[in-house]
Amino acid sequence: MRISRRDLIKTGTLASAAAAVPFGALLGSTEAEAAPLRRTLSNASQTMDRNTFQLRLNDVFNISAGGQTIGLRLIAVADTPCAVATNTQGHQDCFVLLFQGAASLKLKQDTYSANNRATGPFSVFLVPGGADARGTKFTATFNRVVA
């Protein structure tokens, strides 16, 4: 694919203009309009911690995938594999969730919409981990530790 100098300059100009737009303008033109979105974003990050999920062990989380809703059971909340090296054992913002679905379930590694009666809707990146007689496993890693 060839890009002309004119197209490159045009694209660069648009990107520069977009970068110059204040973030607040994207959220809303006034503080009153932006406040509900800020609260939602803030509440989501405060409630999606290890404790939240520890209390939901064995709960079913509904995952939206390809127009279907698939139930995955939360079977473990654990430290990340590098928790000892990074001194994050038991940290509220650094953990791994292990979900289990039907043995025949095939989901690709991707970001999905998840929902649970207690957590409400949220996005989660799931990584398939293989299947056994009990079902197919999926892992979600949460790592919000600021170094």
pLDDT digit string, tens, across residues 92-104:
888 999 999 999 9
Give me the residue spans of the domains in the chain.
Answer: 5-47, 50-143
Band of residue 84 on the pLDDT scale cut at 50, 70, 90: confident
Residue 79 structure tokens: 């430290």
Q: Give the per-residue pLDDT at 9.
A: 52
Q: With beta carbons less than 8 A apart as the criterion, state whether 97 and 77 touch.
A: yes
Q: With beta carbons less than 8 A apart as the criterion, state whether 94 and 80 touch.
A: yes
**23, pLDDT greater than 50:** no
pLDDT, average across residues 18-38: 48
User: What does DSSP assign to residue 52?
Assistant: H
Higher per-residue pLDDT: 102 or 10: 102
CATH fold for domain 50-143: Thrombin, subunit H (2.40.10)
Question: How many Cα atoms occupy the beta-carbon half-sphere of 147 within 13 Å?
Answer: 4
Higher per-residue pLDDT: 46 or 133: 133
